[in-house]
Chain A
Amino acid sequence: MNSIILRTGTVFILPLLLLVSVVILLRGHNEPGGGFVGGLTAATAMLLHMLAFGPKEARKLLPIGPEAMIGVGLLLALFSGIPAMFAGLPAFKALWTDFEPVQGVKFSTPLIFDVGVYLTVAGVVILIIFSIAEYRGHRAIDAQHASDARAREEAS
């Protein structure tokens, strides 16, 4: 898709959408929101950028690949369940601190867990979107085979 309006608009909307996705994630414990919706919103933002600039540019925008996002997300979620075991509580029992990294959001194991959900969901959707966008299709592959065969024939 080659549209000046879409490209120009995306440059402004992308950071806003990502910011909104983080807000949705953080406020999730008290207001509607949470890691799942937040992750979906972030993925939508990436999708928008990809439609405007193509998958190559969109990949450059990500600090780590979508596969790594899934892995990090799952590990974060898993590790958030472990501290409770050392406190003599069942795994995944929530532990809270009074430290507030953001106004009104207390640092806690459920927060880490929710960040893990956010990363996993966003990673999965982005991975699927990229895969589809980068898929060359059967016709493209058949054409490639045909041209390869022609090249071989000419060489021999």
Chain B
Amino acid sequence: MVLTSVFSLFLLALVAPLVTRVAGRYAGWVLATVPAGWAVWYAGFIARVGEGEVITPASLVWVDSLGVALSTRVDGLSLMFALLVTGVGALVVAYAGGYLAGHHHLGRFYGYLIAFMASMLGLVVSDNLIAIFIFWELTSVTSFLLIGFGHDRAAARTAALQAMIVTGLGGLALLAGLLLMGVAAGTYEFSEMLEGGITLGDHPLYIGILVLVCLGAFTKSAQFPFHFWLPGAMEAPAPVSAYLHSSTMVKAGVFLLAKFSPVLGGTEEWAWTLQIVGGVTMVYAAFLAARAVYFKRILAFTTVSSLGAMVMLLGVGGPGEAAAMGFLLAHAMYKGTLFMVAGSVEHQTHTKNVEQLSGLMRIMPVTFAAAALGAASMAGVAPFFGFTAKYLMKGPIPEAAAGSFLVIGVMAMGIFMTTAALLVAYKPFVGKPNEAASAGSEAGPALLLGPVVLSVAGLIGGLMPGLFVQPLVASATAAVTGDAPEKALSSSIGMINMGTLLSTSTLAIVLGVVFYAVRDMLRRTTGLMDRLDPMLSGPVVFQRVLSGTLWFGRLQTRLLQNGSLNTYIRTTIIGFIALVLGLGANRLKNAFLWQDAERPSLLGMILVVLLIVSGVAATVFRYRLAAVAALGMAGVASALIFVFYGAPDVAMTQFAIETLTVLIFVLVFYHLPQFTSFTGRMQKFSDWVVSLAFGAVMAGMVMLAVQTDMAPKISGYFSENAVPLAYGRNIINVILVDFRAADTFGEIVVLGIAGVGVAALLSVSGRSQNPTKPDGGVA
């Protein structure tokens, strides 16, 4: 059933455009029922998982011999994420129906959004490391499609590409890290690592694994200095920001670190890396948030800051993990709310700048109520869930390795978060309605449902933690720490001094309000940041690296692929000769000293003579057709060798290829210029030298191959098992379609791409009547 939930969503993504065509403006509500149903189904597990049970349904075999399977495992952590993915997902799908109503690509948008949902759900319930990686990459790909949804705007394309390159590079690092992890642990099943009590902290590969996994997690969760792609990704429509870039995808990095912490955590390196990177991100991004003026940009920076706090808390370990889980759940609710509110305000008033709005409270009262609840939770005001999360955070931090730095950091984050909360939920709503605000009206039910449900859930989570917050956070923490759920929370609660907590919280809120009041001065005095931040990380460094790569690519193309076929072939052949002689000159020399070669038969001699004659003829004929016919003869002669020496299959293919080659040449001749002799004497001489050297090296390699004892086990296995296992007497074909079917599939895919490539090249150069300048995706 767990796998079914993933696959049913992929299926829903496929049919979403069709549903949209049939159901029209109700499509959002119709499509939202499926993820909502799965959310209810997953909610049914809360009680069982809350008691420490782990649900591991049967898995689907994928590539058995490589240890790849679609195996699933639902523990507290996975359950919390699965609920977020399906629950918030359902709300966002309904919201998108209102936000993008009437958009001509709405069906496609639903498809992308639900495909992302399926990928993310697959990621959080997978147990196999390789399956985790594949779903991880799928979330990057679908996120690219969603950020670039408004693909007619250059900014959207650039942002999509930026996010894709950053998270894609991180994904590659992660793949390497996961493979090393699998090698070090001896299994790719995560649950087997847990059951075996495997910790990799002392393994020689540990540092490599940690660096690679962290690179993957930090790029995905937008940690400093990779944070720049997330504010850029705000080019996406608001439902995407609310869903991918606050509640789910960007938390995948945090999810992975939390999931792996029993195996990778608990070391000095782990603690310092996560505490420093997370801590710096937390403070830096919160500060940027307090300075920003655009609705979604403010929220994007607070998201980066919160993700930093979660990473930092995971680095603190122990009770810090409980705080990270609590904060994660609280953040998903209030940030989802606020992003949807931001989207509604933008949608209704067409204004993105919070400073240009005021008095919206009277025009959009319900939206304001949701925004106020969400912002109160974000600022950590009691009794909201955000306060509970803060409460959990205060205990363990002073005990951490980077303790004093982090205490100040959390304080700073609290202050700036309060300022940001006022910017998004106070500034545009209070006062007299100005012109921009009066142009708007209250949002419709689709735009209201999501923010209202999530903000009220945040309030209930704070007032009645026992209802769903406590079991979820406790069992998620238990999954990370390995304790029993009922113990997971008690240790962190015991560490808190209520008096200190209340006083520091109040101080943070007061200072946040002060900063809000002087925000204009804050922006002016720190104007340097506008130039410094791009230089530190994002646009500048990213663009430098990107254009450097493109420059290198062009240089390489000029050197190696200058458009002359002669140069291509010469480069390839000389490179090959150099490689062979450089690596195995000695072995090649011995190959020529072969003593016990059989005397060739008369037939063999005749064929060899035929080959030599046709080869020489091809080089001396002065007419194209004659040269090609000579080449064809050489091909037929080699096919005859296959016939007489027991490879009828190869011979057959060779005959077919030779026939086709000659005929295609005839077709091409029509387009070629007159055949004139371009090569000078020197060129001819050097060509002869290269050709003779190539022939000698190839002859030596063939003789070496004949003398080498080729692992007999493999061919023996194939000939013995072709009939009993594959019911075929033609071993070659059995290998192609059965034993090595996956390889063959890869080969025909390449073949198909090559064919389409040839056709595209020919049709483009044949049709370019009005050459227009292509619009570069990278600005």
Contact = CB atoms under 8 A, between A and B. Distances in A.
B730 A128 contact: no
27 contacts: A29-B729, A29-B737, A30-B730, A31-B729, A34-B649, A36-B653, A40-B660, A51-B663, A70-B755, A70-B756, A74-B748, A81-B745, A96-B727, A110-B728, A113-B744, A117-B748, A124-B755, A127-B755, A127-B759, A131-B759, A131-B762, A132-B667, A133-B667, A135-B763, A135-B765, A137-B670, A141-B766
Contact of A36 (B659, B736, B758, B766): B736
Contact of B737 (A30, A32, A117, A124): A117
B649 A110 contact: no
Interface in B552-581: none
Nearest to B734: A29
Given A30-B729, A90-B65, 10 more contacts: A28-B730, A29-B737, A66-B755, A73-B748, A91-B742, A120-B748, A121-B751, A135-B763, A135-B765, A148-B769
Contacts of B61: 85, 88-90
B213 to A, nearest CB: 27
B730 A32 contact: yes
B64 A110 contact: no
B63 interface: yes
B365 interface: no
Contacts of A74: 748-749, 752
A92 B758 contact: no
Interface in B708-733: 726-730, 732-733
A59 interface: no
Nearest to B653: A37
Nearest to A124: B755
Given A90-B61, A131-B763, A124 B751 contact: yes
A75 to B, nearest CB: 11
Contact of A33 (B649, B659, B749, B754): B649
Interface of A: 24, 28-37, 40-41, 43-44, 47, 51, 66-67, 70-71, 73-74, 77-78, 80-81, 85-86, 88-92, 94, 96, 106, 108, 110, 113-114, 116-117, 120-121, 123-125, 127-138, 141, 144-145, 148
B639 to A, nearest CB: 12
A123 B755 contact: yes
A50 to B, nearest CB: 9
A129 B664 contact: yes
A117 B730 contact: no
A32 to B, nearest CB: 4
Chain A at the B interface: mostly helix, strand, loop or mixed?
helix
A118 B640 CA distance: 24
Contacts of A148: 769
Contacts of B659: 44
B248 to A, nearest CB: 28
Contacts, number: 167
Contacts of B660: 40, 43-44, 47, 125
B524 interface: no
B653 A40 contact: yes
B748 A116 contact: yes
Nearest to A71: B752
Nearest to A112: B737
B521 interface: no
B746 to A, nearest CB: 10
B637 to A, nearest CB: 19
B60 interface: yes
B667 A77 contact: no
B644 interface: no
A132 B668 contact: yes
A135 B652 contact: no
Nearest to B652: A37
B199 to A, nearest CB: 31
A65 to B, nearest CB: 11
B657 interface: yes
A132 B755 CA distance: 12
Contact of B741 (A30, A92, A129): A92
Nearest to B744: A117
A141 B728 CA distance: 53
Contacts of B104: none
Contact of A135 (B726, B742, B762, B768): B762
A128 B758 contact: yes
Given A85-B60, A145-B769, A120 B752 contact: yes
Nearest to B762: A131
Contacts of A36: 653, 736
A106 B734 CA distance: 14
A40 B650 CA distance: 13
Contacts of B754: 124
A82 B323 CA distance: 44
A129 B663 CA distance: 9
A33 B731 CA distance: 11
A51 B669 CA distance: 14
A29 B742 contact: no
A114 B737 contact: yes
A91 B664 CA distance: 37
B63 A90 contact: yes
A97 to B, nearest CB: 11
A141 B734 CA distance: 48
Contacts of B663: 44, 47, 51
Interface in B427-447: none
B773 interface: no
Contacts of B751: 120-121, 124
A28 B727 CA distance: 12
B656 interface: yes
B688 interface: no
B738 interface: yes
Among B727, B732, B759, residue most surrounded by chain A Cβ atoms (within 10 Å): B759
A133 B732 CA distance: 34
Given A78-B745, A135-B766, A32 B664 contact: no
